[in-house]
């Protein structure tokens, strides 16, 4: 019997929430939600909030995204100018283009939000349309305020949970890819300095963001190339909405504003492919893990639910690593 992705994720979280209550843990459960562009992770989070805040669960839930943690406009421009030979840092998206301290501080604040009934946390927001689409952080006074108590925090993003590689692992992966003769590989389009810079930046994400996660949900595409069609479908939906808005406002200029062509979508997705090719093999091999104080991945695995989707985003496989007999 084919399972629904929302019910799978809901049941996984409910199990973990019950275990948290049994342990008497005061803080909220912080769950990472990761998946390729267009896989439906943002939609999943929205549906989870709707279900889990309703009876019979009645949980207090909040979600925020790595998309709201991108560097401010001026900082991103400085990063690009200081690294002119790194094409993956000329625009936001890859590891190194986020405000790591902002993410760490926000996650820490949410972790302890239940310690004081008067405690509140401002959730960062980012405006992708600012500066002609180059984007900028929204002014802090406009950030939404969250108050406790909280039961669950959903932290979502396309590279959440991606494990960094050692220099040796990175070099071996590049060499293996080179010897395979895979002409479609994206990591071979970039020099080693660029790849090492992206990987080094991901170490901070692991240490300051991912090590704060109590659980991890990974939405895996059966084939990674599906992301091109998924992202194009998102763009078509956006284009239809813009057209509808333009007709309603009798403004033809609004019809194409903000939407991309198929070629632009391909070029857009291409920029993220090196991240997938670098980190997914290790994630799939060992699962999501925390690191020790020395930065070494621990043996013990974090609670993880993996959901595999076909091209139509239908669940084909799912598994979790919870101890005992899973009820999923």
Would you say residue 326 lies in a domain?
no
Query: Who contacts 219 (Cβ-Cβ below 8 Å, separation ≥6)?
Result: 5, 33, 34, 35, 36, 39, 40, 41, 44, 307, 309
Domain count, the chain: 1
User: For helices 226-249 and 262-270, what crossing angle results, to 10°?
Assistant: 130
d(CA 296, CA 185): 28
The pLDDT score that the predictor gives to residue 183 is 81
Would you say residue 327 lies in a domain?
no
Would you say residue 101 lies in a domain?
yes
The pLDDT score that the predictor gives to residue 234 is 86
Buried b / exposed e along 279-290 (16+ C-beta atoms within 10 A): bbebbeeebbbb
Strands 297-301 and 145-147: unpaired
Would you say residue 328 lies in a domain?
no
The pLDDT score that the predictor gives to residue 252 is 57
Would you say residue 169 lies in a domain?
yes
The pLDDT score that the predictor gives to residue 240 is 81
Residue 270 DSSP symbol: H
Would you say residue 90 lies in a domain?
yes
The pLDDT score that the predictor gives to residue 255 is 46
Report the CATH number at residue 52.
3.40.50.300
**CB neighbour class for 148 (10 Å; exposed up to 12, middle 13-18, buried from 19):** buried
The pLDDT score that the predictor gives to residue 256 is 47
Would you say residue 303 lies in a domain?
yes
User: For helices 192-208 and 273-286, what crossing angle results, to 10°?
Assistant: 50
Would you say residue 226 lies in a domain?
yes
Query: Who contacts 37 (Cβ-Cβ below 8 Å, separation ≥6)?
Result: 158, 227, 230, 231, 234, 269, 272
pLDDT digits (tens, 9 = 90+) for 115-127: 998 899 999 999 9
The pLDDT score that the predictor gives to residue 184 is 87
The pLDDT score that the predictor gives to residue 20 is 93
Find the distance separating the first CA and the last CA of the chain, reported in whole Å: 12
Helix or strand holding residue 136 (H, E) = strand 136-137
List the chain residues with pLDDT less than 70.
1-2, 245-247, 250-259, 292-300, 324-328
Question: What tokens does 46 get?
Answer: 């929205």
Instruction: HSE, CB side, 13 Å, CA atoms: give it for residue 84.
Output: 1
Question: What is the SS3 assignment for 87-131?
Answer: HHHCCCCCCCCECHHHHHHHHHHHHCHHHCCCCEEECCCEECCHH
Question: 114 and 27 in contact (C-beta within 8 Å)?
Answer: yes
Check the CA dihedral 149-151-156-161 and report its sign.
positive
The pLDDT score that the predictor gives to residue 324 is 65
Domain that holds residue 179: 5-320
| Cα–Cα nearest to 10, from 27, 28, 25, 31 | 31
């Amino acid at each position: 019997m084919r399972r629904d992705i929302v019910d799978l994720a809901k049941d996984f979280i409910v199990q973990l929430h019950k275990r948290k209550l049994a342990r008497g843990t005061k803080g909220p459960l912080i769950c990472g939600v990761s998946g390729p562009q267009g896989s439906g992770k943002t939609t999943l989070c929205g549906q989870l909030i709707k279900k889990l805040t309703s009876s019979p669960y009645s949980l207090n839930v909040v979600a925020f995204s790595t998309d709201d943690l991108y560097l401010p406009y001026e900082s991103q421009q400085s990063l690009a100018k200081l690294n002119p030979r790194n094409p993956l840092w000329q625009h936001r998206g890859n590891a190194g283009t986020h405000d790591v301290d902002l993410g760490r501080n926000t996650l820490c604040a949410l972790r302890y939000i239940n310690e004081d009934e008067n405690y509140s946390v401002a959730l960062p927001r980012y405006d992708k349309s600012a500066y002609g689409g180059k984007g900028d952080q929204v002014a802090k006074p406009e950030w939404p305020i969250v108050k406790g108590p909280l039961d669950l925090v959903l932290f979502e993003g396309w590279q959440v949970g991606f494990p960094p590689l050692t220099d040796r692992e990175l070099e071996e992966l590049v060499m293996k890819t080179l010897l395979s003769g895979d002409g479609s590989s994206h990591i071979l389009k970039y020099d080693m300095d660029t790849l090492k810079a992206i990987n080094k930046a991901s170490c901070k994400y692991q240490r300051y963001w991912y090590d704060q996660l109590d659980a991890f949900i990974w939405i895996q595409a059966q084939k990674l190339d599906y992301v091109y069609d998924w992202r194009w479908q998102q763009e078509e939906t956006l284009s239809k909405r813009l057209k509808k808005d333009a007709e309603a406002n009798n403004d033809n200029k609004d019809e194409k504003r903000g939407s991309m062509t198929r070629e632009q979508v391909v070029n857009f997705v291409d920029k993220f492919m090196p991240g997938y090719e670098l980190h997914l093999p290790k994630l799939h091999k060992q699962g999501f893990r925390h690191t020790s104080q020395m930065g070494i991945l621990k043996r013990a695995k974090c609670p993880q639910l993996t959901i595999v989707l076909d091209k139509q985003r239908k669940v084909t496989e799912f598994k979790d690593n919870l101890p005992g007999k899973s009820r999923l």
